[in-house]
């Protein structure tokens, strides 16, 4: 490992919402990449393998542990999507003014929680859906 100077890390900065949304983006993205894609592969593989395999998937998915994972994944999905959309705006060079940056850093994760709640509210309001 080359002896390059390291940039100051977490503890040296005063916390702000832009740091939280950046960390959430990485955590939710890597969570989706590892856990989310594994669930997607299992879901599609179970479908392709037939009713018995799909039944086994559903049994786990609708257990208390399964719901914790699925709710966590939908939260991670909406969080990553909102902070990702924020990144698109930052990529075109907009949204760097202190106030605008702060507002969207706070709004992204809150919107994500609201979308997660709306999704599950909708799903659970459908009778016998899962």
**Closest CB 107 distance from another protein, rounded Å:** 18
Structure tokens at 68: 């914790």
**Closest CB 31 distance from another protein, rounded Å:** 11
Of the candidate spans 10-18, 36-44, 93-101, 102-110, the one that interacts with another protein by CB under 8 A turns out to be 36-44
**Alpha-carbon torsion 86, 87, 93, 96, what sign?**
positive
Candidates 56, 59, 84, 114; binder of another protein (CB under 8 A) is 84
95 burial (CB, 10 Å; 0-12 / 13-18 / 19+) is middle
Separation in Å, CA 43 to CA 3, 9, 46, 49, 75: 46, 39, 5, 10, 19
Of the candidate spans 8-16, 22-30, 93-101, 106-114, the one that interacts with another protein by CB under 8 A turns out to be 22-30
Q: Does 67 bind another protein (CB under 8 A)?
A: no
Of the candidate spans 10-18, 38-46, 95-103, 104-112, the one that interacts with another protein by CB under 8 A turns out to be 38-46
């Amino acid at each position: 490992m080359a002896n390059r100077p390291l940039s100051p890390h977490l503890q040296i900065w005063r916390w702000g919402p832009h740091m939280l949304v950046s960390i959430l983006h990485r955590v939710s993205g890597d969570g989706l990449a590892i856990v989310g894609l594994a669930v997607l592969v299992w879901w599609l593989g179970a479908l392709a393998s037939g009713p018995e395999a799909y039944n086994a998937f559903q049994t786990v998915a609708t257990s208390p542990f399964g719901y914790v994972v699925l709710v966590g994944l939908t939260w991670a999905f909406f969080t990553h999507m909102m902070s990702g959309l924020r990144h698109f705006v930052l990529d075109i060079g907009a949204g760097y003014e202190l106030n605008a940056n702060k507002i969207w850093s706070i709004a992204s994760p809150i919107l994500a929680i609201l979308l997660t709640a709306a999704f599950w509210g909708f799903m659970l309001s459908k009778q016998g859906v899962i």
